[in-house]
Structure 1
Amino acid sequence: MNNLQFEALLNATLSPQLIKDYCPNGLQVEGRKEIKKIVTGVTASKALIEQAIKFNADAILVHHGYFWKGESEAIRGMKGERIRQLIKNDINLFAYHLPLDIHPELGNNAQLAQLLDIEVQGGLEGHPQSVAMFGTLQQETTGAELAQRIATVLNREPLHIAPEFADKTIRLVGWCTGGGQDYIELAALQGMDAFISGEISERTTYSARELNIHYFAAGHHATERYGIKALGEWLAEQHGFDVTFIDIDNPV
């Protein structure tokens, strides 16, 4: 498939035009015209690019690409080296940030809910493009039990901040993968028993305690592996591409 046709296919699936983002979504660095072999990963790091070169990939498809709002426009240093390698090896770079977070089937939030056996009820912000979600567990559970479930599923021990009343059980859950910790107040105001995100800030600890809500920081990378993986699997199954997901270790 032509690289611009490939971008159109992804845009039709992920609808980036419907959400305001912090970076351009779609084709960020143009390479060879024909795309057959794709490497997917969470972040377009140097290590992922090196793996894509070894696989002789035509394209890299990631959640975290380049050209973020507020960063320097200069193509130099670390960014310059990454982009040089892409251009030198004629590899296309495609990136989808918030559109991949919110997709109702392939998205990071949807995939995390499936892994943790949470029944999705809707968007925490009350509209279809909500970046944070909420849902219910099949059975009421304790904070320790949910922490263990997260650790088992993501292969990463979460940081659990218990509320002031630590014996509070959990049935209603809000979540936002990646850097979604500041949705915790909205989750508490809407009656959630717990909130899960990837990252935690210093202020989040006090919010959890004072708002009487369990909080779980499960890792930015760990919570966002599964959307890009699902998107790659969809491209392979539905459109016949040769797709390899490469998980570059990241403890954050």
Structure 2
Amino acid sequence: MSVNLKELVNFANETLSVERFKDYCPNGLQIEGKSAVTKIVSGVTASQALIDAAIAANADLLLVHHGYFWKGESEPLVGIKGKRVKALMQADVSLLAYHLPLDAHPELGNNAQLAKILDIEIESGMEPGNPFSVGNIGSLSEAISAEDFTHRVTTQLGREATLISGGDRSVKRIAWCTGSADRMIEQADKLGADLFLSGEISEPVVHYAREAGIHYLSAGHHATERYGAKALGEFLADRFGLEHQFIDIDNPV
């Protein structure tokens, strides 16, 4: 089966409520390819490796979390970005990208999907009362040590997580936001979290965790954001009767 590209894009935009987000990039269709979509390939970042893999897999549409045209990014389509865009356009493959809307979606989003993988029960967003909050807070079924939770994350994500200890407090209440959201640790602390999990880590966050007594866990930007695009791709494929393939381009960061 196939679906009209515009119909699919409109449905995805509505599903993710893209108009409700002020983002660092355009969300939705970034490069327009063929009008009919039969196969979706999803992945984290629209790198050349993922583009080449999607083309080889006969995709009509590439769905990613990290697309192009970021604020502050050089605008000319030259160099690496030019080659990427050229490859997609020559192959007539569309690029569909969702950043914050895909982080925040309560079921398909990166944060929601990560909670399922790590067995965290979601209580609310990190901005209670805001249904479009990026980041969540929730709890484990029982308190465990920070080291045991770190082992769980490492095992489930297949990547060594880095724990910055906030002391000897056990872990039950957890706040998390995938990607490069480590500075949200202060917000997590105010919400009473025992541990804050994100993808990346910066030098000041180490000191904050130690001094405030809240554990911080860096689990990898790519590793924490592998799940939203995959979930959305599966959702769209089921909705329209399409073929879907998730391709993971390894990234240690």
TM-score, scaled to structure 2? 0.97
Shift of 1:12: 1.4
Any idea what SS the aligned residue of 2:36 has? coil
2:140 aligned partner: 137
Partners of 1:128 and 1:183 in 2: CA distance: 18
1:146 aligned partner: 149
Alignment of 1:109-148 (within 5 A): 109-126=111-128, 127-148=130-151
Q: Give the letter aligned to residue 181 of structure 2.
A: G
CA displacement 1:55-103 (0-9 Å, x = unmatched): 1111100000000011111111000000000111111000000000000
Partners of 1:53 and 1:175 in 2: CA distance: 34
Shift of 1:232: 1.2
Shift of 1:117: 0.5
CA displacement 1:168-199 (0-9 Å, x = unmatched): 10111000000110110011112110000001
Any idea what SS the aligned residue of 1:187 has? helix
Partners of 2:173 and 2:216 in 1: CA distance: 12
Shift of 1:238: 2.8
Shift of 1:239: 2.2
Any idea what SS the aligned residue of 2:123 has? strand
Shift of 1:4: 1.1
Any idea what SS the aligned residue of 1:225 has? coil
Partners of 1:232 and 1:53 in 2: CA distance: 16
Shift of 1:32: 0.8
Partners of 2:238 and 2:191 in 1: CA distance: 38
Give aligned-pair identity as a percent.
54
TM-score, scaled to structure 1? 0.98
Runs (4 or more) in structure 1 with deviation over 4 Å come to none
Is the contact made by 2:40 and 2:237 (CA closer than 8 Å) also made in structure 1? no
RMSD between aligned residues: 0.8
Shift of 1:206: 0.5
Partners of 2:187 and 2:53 in 1: CA distance: 40
- Mean CA deviation greater in 233-242 or 117-126: 233-242
Q: Give the letter aligned to residue 47 of structure 1.
A: A
CA displacement 1:121-146 (0-9 Å, x = unmatched): 00112211111110011010101000
Any idea what SS the aligned residue of 1:122 has? strand
Partners of 1:36 and 1:237 in 2: CA distance: 12
Alignment of 1:170-181 (within 5 A): 170-181=171-182
Gaps in structure 1 of 5+ consecutive residues:
none
Match 1:27 to one of 29, 32, 37:
29
Partners of 1:146 and 1:94 in 2: CA distance: 34
Is the contact made by 2:62 and 2:93 (CA closer than 8 Å) also made in structure 1? yes
Shift of 1:202: 0.9
Is the contact made by 2:107 and 2:113 (CA closer than 8 Å) also made in structure 1? yes
Any idea what SS the aligned residue of 1:144 has? helix
Partners of 2:191 and 2:58 in 1: CA distance: 49
1:197 aligned partner: 198
Partners of 1:236 and 1:119 in 2: CA distance: 27
| Number of residue-to-residue matches in the alignment | 250
Any idea what SS the aligned residue of 1:208 has? helix
Q: Give the letter aligned to residue 245 of structure 1.
A: F
Q: Give the letter aligned to residue 3 of structure 1.
A: L
Shift of 1:236: 2.3
Partners of 2:83 and 2:19 in 1: CA distance: 30
Partners of 1:94 and 1:190 in 2: CA distance: 34
Shift of 1:34: 0.7
